[in-house]
Structure 1
Amino acid sequence: MIVVAPLAGLLLGFLDFVWIKYVPFPLGGLGNSMAVWAVAAFLVTRRSRWNLPASVIGAVMMLVVAVPAYYLAAALIQNDELSQAYASYALIWMALGVVAGGIFGAGGYLARVPGRLQRVAVALPGSVLFAEAAIELLRAGDPSYGVAEPLMLAAILIALGVVVSRRALLFTIPLAVLGFVVFSLTGFR
């Protein structure tokens, strides 16, 4: 975990910036998706053989490291200021990474361990994608976002949510509602 999680974070942050910079919209919009980062943390911990505490710590470490790695990539690729890596907004994203890492790290662990919570945990990736899609749908028509871009991104997030939720759709929708509320409380809307 001590090597894998920070390395995964470096890759996530760096590749995310490259994705945003070079992949055209609407697919490029996935790079700005908190849900995609949460799903990445879930997948890393689900694929690992870490215990519950290590999964949570690993996911948190991965997401926290990914934030400055993103800004490092921006500095290297387009000469952005390196100070962005520790600016107040970067620290807020890192704090959100702690919260998301805790939830999705535990979810990744529980998704591979037989038990009552396994099906709920398997629903987490789809639910966060649906929750973010709902936020994008609410942005449609807002002068800051336009109509087409949020609708296209929402359609992609919904499609991804359906693909990853096919085994746990019953739990995905209520968790998506909860995720939407959490996004709203954090001001992500």
Structure 2
Amino acid sequence: MTDPKISMTTTNREVRRRHQVLTVAACGVLLGAVDLLLQRTLPYPWANLANSSAVWALGAFGIGWWLRAGWWRSALAGIVLLVVAVQVYHLTAAVVMDDDVQMLWSPTGIMWSAFGVLAGALFGAAGGLTHDRRPWLRPIAVAMPGAVLLAEAAMLVDRSDNPGRGPNYRTDSLQTAAIEAILGVALILLVARTNRVRLLALTAAIVLAAIGFAGFTVAGFGD
């Protein structure tokens, strides 16, 4: 006979996983829809944050941190979150702004979904690994959200002198960069549990931010 306690535990585990899947998908819907609406309603420089690739990456990190699962489940959750968010973003744009619904399967839409897979896997896994007990790995995972914000802040500073973007672009870019830099450091201090991890994570964030800046540049975000 099957032990009823084991059966109950298995059932509860399956129910919890289904709830987690639904929560991740719901968060993706909210991220995609609310992001577009905030871009249209917030004043600058805050509207830039809604249109920030780094902030979307934070969503994947946050879902991985919340899930408290293995790195691969956290990575999968991050992928689902961002891919759903990309599709809902374009669908919301079609409804609210009368954009072409074909953006959902256009080359641009597919490209952003591909970025969602990459960023979702990387930052979702990092969120999950913040709970890892290995002392060398946890600071790197904790550094990830701060690093991506610092990388994007550096990119905004680098392209703030672009004369073709209008007279207010430099001011908006520098203000957004300052907000992201402050937020990046604050997140590391908040996510880390000890001063040692905070110090190591801040150090790692500088290195990772340099790599992230190079990645943004290669991907064409710096143009």
Q: TM-score range by the shorter chain?
A: over 0.9
Return structure 1 stretches of 4+ with deviation > 4 angstroms.
none
AA of the residue aligned to 1:141: D
* Structure 2 residue aligned with 1:124: 144
Could you give the per-residue CA deviations for residues 134-179 of structure 1, whole angstroms, max 9, x where no partner exists? 1100111102333212111111111111211232212111110111
**Alignment pair present for 1:65 and 2:84:** yes
AA of the residue aligned to 2:208: L
Equivalent residues of 2:160, 2:170 under 8 A apart: yes
Q: 2:207 aligns with which of 144, 154, 174?
A: 174
Paired residues in the alignment total 189
**Alignment pair present for 1:99 and 2:132:** no
* Structure 2 residue aligned with 1:110: 129
Tell me the TM-score normalized by structure 1: 0.95
* Structure 2 residue aligned with 1:5: 24
The higher radius of gyration belongs to 2
| Structure number with higher relative contact order (C-alpha < 8 Å, ≥ 6 residues apart) | 1
**Alignment pair present for 1:165 and 2:185:** no
AA of the residue aligned to 2:178: A
What is the identity percentage for the equivalent residue pairs of Structure 1 and Structure 2? 38
Distance 2:84 2:157 in 1: 30
**Alignment pair present for 1:151 and 2:184:** no
AA of the residue aligned to 1:84: M
Contiguous gaps of at least 5 residues in structure 1: none
Tell me the TM-score normalized by structure 2: 0.81
Contiguous gaps of at least 5 residues in structure 2: 1-19, 190-197
* Structure 1 residue aligned with 2:157: 137
* Structure 2 residue aligned with 1:31: 50
Equivalent residues of 2:68, 2:131 under 8 A apart: no
Could you give the per-residue CA deviations for residues 31-86 of structure 1, whole angstroms, max 9, x where no partner exists? 11110000111011101132222111110111111111111111222222222222
Distance 2:155 2:68 in 1: 34
